[in-house]
Homo-oligomer: A and B are copies of this chain.
Amino acid sequence: MTDRRAAWRDRLYVIIFGHQTPAGKRFDVVLIWSILASVFAVILDSVRSINAQYGDLLYVAEWGFTLLFTVEYVLRLLSARKPSRYARSFFGIIDLFAILPTYLSLLIPGSQYFLVIRVLRVLRVFRVLKLVEYLGEADVLMGALRESRRKITVFLIAVLALAVILGSLMYIVEGHTHGFTSIPRSIYWTIVTLTTVGYGDISPQTTLGQTVASAIMMLGYAIIAIPTGIVTVELSKVRGGGGLERGRGTAEGPPPPPPARRQCPDCGLLGHDPDAAHCKWCGEEL
């Protein structure tokens, strides 16, 4: 590789991956508006009346955006310091999935609607706007969810088992004639009821069915408290650990120093694990 090519690659890298230089910022702003415009085009294209009138225009726009994003993806691969790491990173995969559906739609009609996955690319906005604060908040939320993962898994398994049993019970009670035409459909109804969504497309008609349904609703009312309680306790724990709002200085000695919050030099992400050697978002070395 000649020096000239290496210099080109470095310049591209600064523009495409960097956010500090004016050129890098302009690139990011144009990119995000292109993403939003392309998602908007896909959504509009699905409305029949708009499709009838502007279908051809939107078809052209879709191919235009796809070619643009394909070029961008190739440039990212070319300029990335370690192309294989970029290709396997969170954003690398999203970037690929954001262009594939258009090409697939040549083979499988209808698959172009999967293009809305492009909306995930907009998450880059957090990096661009240097919303370090916001990333920190997302970090706290994700931390609380990660801690609650096991409790919520147990909870969801229990709710699903409950839905299978109660759904079968309602199938026996209400029978074929009132919309409960099969056990899978009854299970669907039970989940609609337990989660308090309540479409009303299926609803019990017999007195016994309504009594059982009332009991299921009261149950749903009571168990909706459980995930809320789990997340609240975890969030208050994450806060207590991270922000030291409470407990500071209650012990004899001074409070322990807060864990060093390492920040990625490239994308500004905070909250890396202590043993992380690379940024988990952009792969930059820490």
Q: Which residues of A contact B (CB under 8 A)?
A: 39, 42-43, 46-48, 110, 113-114, 116-117, 119-120, 122-123, 133-134, 137-138, 140-141, 144-145, 150-156, 158-161, 164-165, 168, 171-172, 176, 181-185, 187-188, 191-201, 203, 207, 210-211, 213-214, 217-218, 220-222, 224-237, 239-240, 245-247, 249-252
> How far is A245 from B147 in the complex, measured between Cα atoms in Å?
13
Q: B residues within 8 A CB of A250? A: 247, 250-251
> How far is A152 from B200 in the complex, measured between Cα atoms in Å?
28
Q: A122-B161, A235-B233 are in contact. Are A207 and B184 (CB under 8 A)?
A: yes
> How far is A230 from B239 in the complex, measured between Cα atoms in Å?
10
Query: Which of B151, B185, B211 is close to A141, meaning CB atoms less than 8 Å apart?
Result: B151
Query: Which of B116, B194, B222 is close to A183, meaning CB atoms less than 8 Å apart?
Result: B116
Q: Which 9 A-B pairs have the closest CB atoms?
A: A199-B200, A197-B198, A46-B183, A229-B232, A229-B231, A200-B200, A225-B231, A225-B228, A225-B227
Q: A183-B116, A214-B188, A214-B191 are in contact. Are A222 and B161 (CB under 8 A)?
A: no
Q: A155-B141, A171-B46, A251-B250 are in contact. Are A123 and B161 (CB under 8 A)?
A: yes
Q: B residues within 8 A CB of A200? A: 198-201
